[in-house]
Amino acid sequence: MSEDTFRSVEIERTSMGNYVARNVRGGSLPMGTGEDGAFTPVELLLAAIGGCTAIDVDYITSRRAEPTRFAVEVTGDKIRDEAGGNRMENLKVEFTVTFPAGADGDRAREALPRSLQQSHDRLCTVSRTVELGTPVTIVDTAGSVED
């Protein structure tokens, strides 16, 4: 892996069921089991899917006009079954975007459907990864004993 393609986060336990994810730039995000206000891992997955597409769409449409409203709702059903185990189904990303009246707003409105399609089909790394079903490798490096 080259430096320009490698991505990573580190997750550290803060207490039972509570963790903090950190990126290499110093950002941190609490997560947990959903017993408090912290996001659960599933909510973070939904946020990542919506956020990735939102960034793509925002960069494309905002070149034409600044939106007066830009909201994204991501929904899905968490299911459990014997065949596939726990997973999400029926994932849906719904955009509510409005632009001001006028020629610039018209150009942004015209670009919106195309930008949504481009994000879905090739730009959004998160949703592309989910849809293509990239394997996840789990490695256990446990076994060390604290002195």
pLDDT for the residue numbered 88:
95
How do residues 9-60 score in pLDDT, each as one tens digit?
A: 999 999 999 999 999 999 999 999 999 999 999 999 999 999 999 999 999 9
Tokens standing for 67?
Answer: 């939106």
Q: How many CB atoms lie within 10 A of CB 74?
A: 19
pLDDT(147) > 70: no
Burial-class residue 53 by CB neighbours within 10 Å (0-12, 13-18, 19+): buried
pLDDT for the residue numbered 1:
56
How do residues 67-90 score in pLDDT, each as one tens digit?
A: 999 999 999 999 998 888 999 999
pLDDT for the residue numbered 144:
66
pLDDT(2) > 80: no
How do residues 111-137 score in pLDDT, each as one tens digit?
A: 999 999 999 999 999 999 999 999 999
Q: How far apart are the first and last CA of the chain?
A: 34
In whole angstroms, how far apart are CA 17 and each of 9, 23, 36, 136, 142? 18, 20, 10, 22, 19
Please choose, from the candidates 104, 123, 111, 131, the residue with its C-alpha nearest in 3D space to the C-alpha of residue 51: 123
pLDDT for the residue numbered 141:
86
Q: How many CB atoms lie within 10 A of CB 105?
A: 18
